[in-house]
């Protein structure tokens, strides 16, 4: 009996050693790959690994979990695996950020300052570098009063070479804007600039795409009646969007961007809008609305009179 236990023990040990040997071979064995994957911030790693073709391997899963911290150190980017790679090679590349392209996603409605923070956080440059790159732009076909390019950095996902510069970022974003809005299609550049300003306000105020034309109608109707726009977004721009909630004391700041204090449009865009916001600014809905208030899930209730507006606010409370 004792002899059988010893034999069984040795067989188990041999089995474990064999498994470790197979595991060691599996994680370093090179296989052929020809695939590109775009790993964005927040993307499921399992979806990416499935596309690469390694997600179903038990050895890959073990290696990922116990030796690679479940992928917590993997960096976002556009990866290309063309040739022979081991599981170890793949994960090492993704941890080191050895991307074919660097990916930069700029959300709709970000200001130039916010874009500067994004590229700083990603290690692609600095706010100061972005500012200097914009100063280098000459002969831009649309108005840039006092060198202000706010509104023209088109929000999109961009791919850059690994040695990108702030100048490349600026050039690509401006080129994308000009592709979306060809200068020869909009001969009245002053009119276009006013619509860009309006689009930027709509972008920061609206949360739902379908409400943008309605919101545009409110602002245009207020302008026609000589009313102040009264947009919280234009005031928050003065504070670099640092206010999570606007209070009455915040609205007292003296600035041409304070549309509670001054009539008309602010002197420039307050953000970089997307195409749908520009469409709304160029083609507002035909309504008699003069007010709107956010009610739930990003939706707004639009009203024609101040009395109706106050009633909606009371119900909201």
The DSSP code for 50 is H
pLDDT above 70: residue 17 = no
pLDDT band at 24 (very low <50, low <70, confident <90, very high): low
Among 12-16, 36-40, 302-306, which range has the highest average pLDDT? Answer: 302-306
In a domain, 129, yes or no: yes
Structurally, how many domains does the chain consist of? 3
Q: What are 51-110's pLDDT values in tens digits?
A: 999 888 888 888 888 888 888 999 888 888 989 988 888 889 889 888 887 889 999 999
Same domain, 214 and 272: yes
In the prediction, which pLDDT does 254 show? Answer: 96
Same domain, 229 and 115: no
For range 114-120, the mean pLDDT: 96
310 or 25, which is more confident? 310
Positive or negative, the CA dihedral 44, 48, 51, 55 is negative
In a domain, 130, yes or no: yes
* Beta strand segments in 207-305, E: 291-294, 300-303
For range 9-24, the mean pLDDT: 49
Q: Which of 96, 121, 155 is the last residue of a domain?
A: 96
Same domain, 173 and 251: no
In a domain, 19, yes or no: no
Torsion-angle region of residue 164: left (phi > 0), alpha (psi -120 to 50) or beta? beta
In a domain, 6, yes or no: no
In the prediction, which pLDDT does 2 show? Answer: 60
Q: Give the lowest-confidence range in 102-106, 176-180, 268-272, 312-316.
A: 312-316
Mean pLDDT over each residue of the chain, to the nearest integer: 89
Nearest-angstrom CA–CA distance, 282 and 70? 49
Same domain, 309 and 195: yes
Whose CA is closest to 110, among 240, 251, 208? Answer: 240
Q: Are 90 and 43 in contact (CB under 8 A)?
A: no
Domain containing 43 equals: 27-96
Q: Which of 183, 204, 220 is the last residue of a domain?
A: 183
The DSSP code for 53 is T
Nearest-angstrom CA–CA distance, 117 and 130? 10
Same domain, 288 and 178: no
Whose CA is closest to 187, among 138, 142, 139? Answer: 142
Same domain, 167 and 113: yes
Tokens at 81, concatenated: 């695996």
Q: Which of 143, 158, 183 is the last residue of a domain?
A: 183
pLDDT above 60: residue 210 = yes
Q: What is the 3-state secondary structure (H, E, C) of 195-225?
A: HHHHHHHHHHHCCCHHHHHHHHHHHHHHHHC
194 or 314, which is more confident? 194
Same domain, 140 and 251: no
For range 302-307, the mean pLDDT: 90
pLDDT above 60: residue 141 = yes
pLDDT above 70: residue 185 = yes
Tokens at 6, concatenated: 């010893």
In the prediction, which pLDDT does 161 show? Answer: 78
DSSP character string of 128-194: HHHHHHHHT----SS--GGG--TT-S---EEEE-TT--HHHHHHHHHHHHHHHS-GGG---HHHHHH
């Amino acid at each position: 009996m004792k002899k059988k236990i010893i034999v069984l023990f040795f067989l188990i040990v041999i089995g474990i050693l064999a498994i470790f040997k197979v595991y060691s071979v599996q994680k370093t064995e090179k296989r052929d790959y020809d695939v590109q994957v775009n790993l964005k911030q927040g993307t499921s790693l399992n979806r990416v690994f499935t596309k690469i073709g390694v997600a179903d391997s038990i050895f890959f899963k073990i290696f990922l979990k116990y030796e690679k911290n479940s992928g917590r150190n993997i960096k976002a980017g556009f990866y290309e695996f063309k040739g022979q790679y081991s599981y170890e090679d793949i994960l090492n590349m993704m941890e080191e950020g050895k991307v074919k392209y660097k990916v930069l996603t700029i959300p709709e409605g970000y200001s130039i300052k916010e874009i500067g923070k994004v590229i700083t956080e990603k290690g692609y440059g600095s706010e100061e570098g972005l500012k200097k790159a914009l100063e280098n732009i000459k002969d831009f076909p649309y108005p840039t009063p006092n060198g202000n390019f706010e509104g023209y950095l088109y929000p999109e996902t961009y791919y850059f070479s690994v040695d990108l510069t702030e100048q490349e970022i600026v050039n690509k974003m401006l080129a994308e804007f000009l592709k979306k809005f060809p200068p020869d299609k909009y001969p009245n550049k002053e009119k276009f600039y006013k619509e860009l300003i309006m689009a930027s306000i709509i972008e920061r105020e609206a949360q739902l795409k379908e409400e943008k034309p309605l919101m545009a109608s409110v602002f245009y109707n207020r302008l026609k009646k000589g009313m102040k726009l009264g947009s919280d977004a234009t005031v928050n721009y003065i504070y670099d969007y640092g206010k999570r909630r606007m209070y009455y004391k915040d609205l007292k700041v003296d600035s041409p961007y304070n549309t509670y204090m001054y009539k008309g449009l602010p002197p420039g865009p307050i953000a970089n809008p997307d195409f749908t916001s520009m469409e709304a600014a160029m083609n507002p809905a035909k309504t008699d609305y003069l007010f709107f208030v956010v009610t739930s899930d990003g939706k707004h209730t639009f009203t024609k009179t101040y009395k109706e507006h106050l009633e909606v606010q009371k119900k909201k409370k």
